[in-house]
Structure formats: C-alpha cells, structure tokens
Structure 1
Amino acid sequence: MTIIAAADGSALGNPGPAGWAWYIDPTSWKAGGWAHGTNNMGELTAVLNLLEETRHRRDEPLRVLCDSQYVINSVTKWMPGWKKKGWKKRDGKPVLNVEIMKALDKELAGRDVTFEWVKGHAGHELNEAADDRARAMAVAYQKKTGPAQMPVGPGFRDDDAAVPGTSGAPGSSAGTSDAPTAGSHVSGRPTARVATPPPGASGAEASGASAPRPSLPRAASTVSDPDQQPDLFSELAATASAGEDPSNGISGNGGLASQLVTEAVQREILVIGASAQQQTAVEFLHADALCVDLRGRSVTGDAVLEVLGASGAVDETRVTPLGSVAYHLSYRAEGPAAVTRRSSVWVREDQHNEMGPWLLRYHQVTAEE
C-alpha cells in the first residue's frame, strides 16, 4: 500500500531556531530541529528522515506532501544538474544544504517516491499536523528545552508495533552509510517525481494504519530554474496559475493569508521600534537601503535608522506582493508627537538554491494632514 505523509519545516526568524516534522497519523510521526536553521533546511530534513524511517519498506510507494515548491523542485528537477556539476551551482559555488541534498539523492535511489504540493496554512489535515509539530520543535529550541522534553514523536509505526527510528539524536540527520545501493538515478533523472493526481483521486491507506484522508493535493507548480526560487508569496502565484480565486479561503490584505500579513507587520515594527544603536534593526536593512524623511529628503547609510525610528500604535496596515521576492507595506503610525503615514518595500536576495532573509530596501515617512 502507498505510504502517505506530510513533511514540513519551520524557522523562527528564518534563519533562527528551527524545526522539522513528518506526519502520517497521530501514532506515526517524528520531529527534530536545531538551535539555528532555515525553514528550507527543516523541510528537506523532514523528507530525508521520512525516507530513512521507511527504508525497510522501500518496496512500497511513498507519497510526500510538501508546501514548499523549493523542496519539491530540488529533489525532482534540480538535483540531477547539481550532481553532474559536482554539487555546485552555475556560479561555481557549492549548493546550499549540500549534505542534506546528497543524503536525499542516496535515499531516493531505487524508490518509488511521489511529491505533491499542498497549500500551506490552508487547513490541509496532514500538512497542518506536520507544521504544528515542526513549529513546536522550533519553539522548544528557542526556549532551550531539555532533550528529554523535546516533542520528537514516536517515529514510524509499523503495523501495531513502533519501529525504532534509524536516525540519531533528535534534530540530527541520520547517517546514510547503511542505505541500500540498489537502484540509481538513470541518465541524470531522479527516481522521485512530481505527481499530477487524476480527477477524483483519493487518499490511500498509510502503511498498515488508517491515515486521515487528505484533500486532493495540487500538483506542484513548476519553476524552471533554481535561480527563480519560490518564496513567501509563491502560494498566490501557484493558485492563480491553477485558475483559482486568490482570495478564496484566504484572509488578509492583498489576498494574502493573515499569517503572512502578521509576519510582515511584526518585521516592520521590530525595525522601526529599534534604536539606532540596536544591531537588530541593522540586520534587517538592505545594503542599499534608502529612506525619505518628513521633509522629503533622501537619506542612506547610518541616517536611515534615524528616519525609521518610531513609537506608538501601528494600524491601517496593507501588504501587497510585488512579484515573488518583494512586497510593499503601508500603514499609519500614531506616535506621541505626530501621526505619520509610512510606506516600505521589503525584498529578498536570490541565493540560487535558497532565498535570503527579508531586508528593508525603501522606506518613506509622510505627515498625516
């Protein structure tokens, strides 16, 4: 029978305290994490650990549900090219997360693995369960929880008995030296593939247990080049390409999920609420950040932090995606001395096979009349 599992990663701050998890049902799931990592590292590791934990059932098809197009495209499209180039990118630099990628390549060899994209934070039962567990691990690392209290899960359940996991300590990637060598990538094409579910397809039973039936997963949207990585707003693009209404079932400004709007606003408040001496604000600034102050003057460099500084309530927020790697945020800031209207543009730098952090590129302050 087909084993169906969701895999997800979470990072508080991205990078920051991070967690990963895969989930089949309440009795068959596993999670881990690190004190510092990215959500991409998390989701890749979740897939890797799932492959390791089901290695003894490699003859059975495995269906993996992911909400990250980066992860799906990495293992189904880009990995063969990276491998041919000695695990290097087009610019000659090493592929990010290369050790995880190599381990995935080895574990996927000879196995029937299908990857399907599902929209994150949209109520998909298996995806939500994996996301909750990955986030719980990230929070646990943030709180410096002791190993005995980490919510690592029972591991893969084989029929009525729990099967000891093949991985090491929680949050660490298991070694793959004992992985079977049968099967290989043929002509540079990986065994893993992206599924296109047939009309009316339903969930299958998961590895001897009756797993919750997931809603019909969407096929992963295609990204032809790893230099065009999907990011925080790729869900909207994928939904639009499928002919769906972007606002269907999504709350928040500009058709964005409320969680994404909240994250954008919190990121902004962290920067404008920091003093010029705080390193936190500096880390969120783009190297070429430009600000326009109340007098209409353009400032750069250290003077940017002086323009950014604000206190008081923030309301009337609106977030608008600008393509796949930028967004615009407008809001009203009510301070003790003045009320201003503010406008910011945030961007992410393309790092080929992983997107960098969100950085403030432009900020303008206007007095409210």
Structure 2
Amino acid sequence: MADSKIVEIYTDGACKGNPGVGGWGALLRYAGREREIFGGEKLTTNNRMELLAAIRALESLKRPCKVHLHTDSQYVQKGISQWLDSWKVRNWRTSNRKPVKNEDLWRLLDSLVQQHEIEWCWVRGHSGHIDNERADQLANRGVEMITSEELQNS
C-alpha cells in the first residue's frame, strides 16, 4: 500500500516531429485522490515537453510536499539528479563548455525542486506500466489539443 503522505506524480512528454507539435501530461495522486493535467505547444521538442510535464505537476502543488516523481525520460531524471549541480557550477554550460539546452526550463525546475522533498524515479516507457501509460495518454491529449486549435485557426 502506498504511503498516503506522499504525492505520486507520473509525467510524460510527446512530440509529433522533433521539433514539432508537442504535449505534456501528468497524473498526480495523493490520499486516494487523482488529478490529471495536460497541455501543449505548437513548435517544441520532446525534451522540452518532458521537462514541462514535471514543471507543471510541481507548480500545481499548493504547499511543500514529499513527492515521488516518476518519469520515463532519462534526460529529466539524469539531468536533475546527476547533471544539474555541475551545470550551475559551470554557469549553465555543459562539460564541453556549450550552453545547456533548455536552460530556461531547467532553471524553473530547479527552483520548484527547492520547495519539495522529491525522489526522482525512472520508469521504462511504453512497457505497460499503467500510470506511465496514463501520463503518455495525457501528453498525447496535449498534442491533440494544439493540433485541433491549429485546424480551427487555419
């Protein structure tokens, strides 16, 4: 049985073309309740959508929480747990002295992380993990929402 004092978050990003129309989604679960959130952007990358899913999920928390954040993105999981501190020391440069991609989102995620106690959990994508599959469906709803808006505006 899951700890009822922990917010379980499952995130995913999707992109049709890379860059292309993208979507992000998150499933949040706390004390027997669930909340689904999703959105998208017209021209983006998959990595930006993966980051945005985690950002939007953490932004939706109303107070500091203990969180298990599940992502199928090694970019997000390794970035936050292995690379971020080095990037900051090097003034947002990679070990090759190139600017960190998606620095704006990494900075935002870094500020949100300071507000919570987060355990970052990597889960293999598209492996039948039911909550990860739901996050994937939400991300694809974000793509569909943007695609529908573009069709209506054309």
TM-score by length of 1: 0.37
In structure 2, distance between residues paired with 1:47 and 1:140: 19
Greater than 3 Å deviation, 4+ residue runs: none
- Structure with the largest fraction of helix: 2
Q: Which residue of 1 aligns with 2:45?
A: 38
Counterpart of 2:35, as a letter, is S
The Cα of 1:110 is off from its aligned counterpart by: 4.6
Q: Which residue of 1 aligns with 2:105?
A: 100
Q: Which residue of 1 aligns with 2:96?
A: 91
TM-score by length of 2: 0.86
The Cα of 1:129 is off from its aligned counterpart by: 0.7
Q: Is the 8 A contact 2:94 2:100 kept in 1?
A: yes
Which runs of 5 or more structure 1 residues have no equivalent in the other structure? 147-369
In structure 2, distance between residues paired with 1:63 and 1:104: 15
In the TM superposition, 1:5-84 aligns within 5 A as 5-24=9-28, 27-54=34-61, 56-58=62-64, 60-84=65-89
Q: Which residue of 2 aligns with 1:141?
A: 146
The Cα of 1:38 is off from its aligned counterpart by: 1.2
Q: What SS does the corresponding residue of 1:57 show, helix, strand or coil?
A: coil
Task: Give the aligned CA root-mean-square deviation in angstroms.
Answer: 1.9
Q: What SS does the corresponding residue of 1:12 show, helix, strand or coil?
A: strand
Q: Is the 8 A contact 1:5 1:126 kept in 2?
A: no
In structure 2, distance between residues paired with 1:14 and 1:134: 15
Q: What SS does the corresponding residue of 1:89 show, helix, strand or coil?
A: coil
The Cα of 1:76 is off from its aligned counterpart by: 0.8
Structure 1, 99-108 or 133-142: larger mean CA deviation: 133-142
In structure 1, distance between residues paired with 2:38 and 2:89: 32
Q: What SS does the corresponding residue of 1:48 show, helix, strand or coil?
A: helix
Render the CA deviation track for 1:261-292: whole Å, top value 9, x for unaligned: xxxxxxxxxxxxxxxxxxxxxxxxxxxxxxxx
Counterpart of 1:94, as a letter, is P
The Cα of 1:67 is off from its aligned counterpart by: 0.6
In structure 2, distance between residues paired with 1:119 and 1:29: 20
Q: Is the 8 A contact 1:24 1:126 kept in 2?
A: no
Q: Which residue of 2 aligns with 1:124?
A: 129
Render the CA deviation track for 1:5-29: whole Å, top value 9, x for unaligned: 1000000012210000111258512
